[in-house]
A = this chain, B = another copy of it.
Amino acid sequence: MIIIGEKINGGIPSVAQAIADRDEGFIRAQALKQTEFGAHYLDVCAGTSPDLERETLKWLIGVVQDTVDTPLCIDSTDCGMILDILPFVDKPGLINSVSEEGGKCEQLLPKIADSEWKVIALTCDNNGISTDPVVKYNIAVSIMEKAKSLGISEDRMFIDPLVTAISTTGDSFLSFTETMRMIRERYPDVHITSGLSNISFGMPFRKAVNQQFLCLAMAAGMDSAIMDPASADMRAALYATDALLGRDRLCRRYLQAYRKGLIGSKVTASA
């Protein structure tokens, strides 16, 4: 599983405050903690008003790169902004995100085609987010074909089928897996990722739904997640699922995580 740490996002009130205060210590702590708990990429999203986004992203990127070597996942709805920011990033990571909305693919993909940057693509277009797996699949195909025509290999692309809240869309998970199944059948080497906590929006005791979503989605072929790697509950679900699915020989990673105190009853509350 490729874990994209979600905690450096101005949409989170404590992060917004740290951004407003230019509190480097807070951002450094988030970068260190997520890296320590196994994040492969660190999502960096300003979450500010557009006029402050460029300056904020540059500051965040500088602080994070000064703290850890973990590759970044540059997160903005503005592809022009992302392209402006890339020169300030030390090494290629992920771009989050393109979609079939507003010509984002045409704007961004040609510019990064010859680089080592990877891309998260959302299955939405100018009509918004569909709940129909076929519509989502067709959007994914359109994006993937554009990428392929530019020489971007399948494994540089991460498709996010945009899971919707189960509280409002009862078949949200089934629609997610059906979309994923169709995409995987056509593009076996593509990555499938998800900002998975959206599944439990509006529900009480969200962690139970998030844990079981992670488990079921991993079994169905999801190989990446945008999540908090420092959540002990999510980590436990992840390690246990890997062991059950036969992806953790002799349960070594599970047992090692337990011995290190990363999962289990001895995990500190802060983790």
Q: Which residues of A contact B (CB under 8 A)?
A: 166-167, 170-171, 173-174, 199, 203-205, 208-209, 211-213, 215-216, 219, 236-237, 239-241, 243-246, 249-251, 254-255, 258, 263-265
- Which of B173, B199, B251 contacts A167, CB < 8 Å? B251
Residues of B with C-beta under 8 A to A170: 246, 249-251
Residues of B with C-beta under 8 A to A208: 236-237, 239-240, 263-264
Residue of B nearest to A264 (CB): B205
In the complex, besides A170-B249, A170-B251, A208-B236, 20 extra interface pairs with C-beta distance below 8 angstroms are: A167-B251, A173-B244, A173-B245, A174-B245, A199-B244, A203-B254, A204-B255, A204-B264, A205-B263, A208-B263, A208-B264, A209-B240, A209-B243, A211-B211, A211-B237, A211-B240, A212-B244, A213-B244, A215-B216, A216-B244
Would you mind naming 13 contact pairs between A and B with Cβ atoms under 8 Å apart?
Answer: A166-B244, A167-B251, A170-B250, A173-B244, A173-B245, A203-B251, A203-B255, A204-B264, A205-B258, A208-B263, A211-B211, A211-B240, A216-B244
State how many angstroms separate the Cβ of A239 from the closest Cβ of chain B. Answer: 7
State how many angstroms separate the Cβ of A190 from the closest Cβ of chain B. Answer: 23
Number of copies of this protein chain within its complex: 2
Residues of B with C-beta under 8 A to A255: 203-204
- Which of B167, B205, B215, B265 contacts A212, CB < 8 Å? B215
Instruction: Determine whether the beta carbon of A246 is less than 8 Å from that of B212.
Output: no
Query: Which 3 A-B residue pairs are closest in the complex by CB-CB distance?
Result: A205-B264, A208-B236, A212-B240
Residues of B with C-beta under 8 A to A203: 251, 254-255
A220 to B66, CA, bound (A): 46
Query: Dominant SS at the A interface?
Result: helix
Residues of B with C-beta under 8 A to A243: 166, 209
State how many angstroms separate the Cβ of A211 from the closest Cβ of chain B. Answer: 7
Residues of B with C-beta under 8 A to A205: 236, 258, 263-265
Residues of B with C-beta under 8 A to A171: 246
Residues of B with C-beta under 8 A to A254: 203, 209
Residues of B with C-beta under 8 A to A251: 166-167, 170, 203
Residues of B with C-beta under 8 A to A199: 244
Residues of B with C-beta under 8 A to A265: 205
Residues of B with C-beta under 8 A to A209: 240, 243-244, 254
Residues of B with C-beta under 8 A to A258: 204-205
A96 to B246, CA, bound (A): 30
State how many angstroms separate the Cβ of A232 from the closest Cβ of chain B. Answer: 10
State how many angstroms separate the Cβ of A173 from the closest Cβ of chain B. Answer: 4
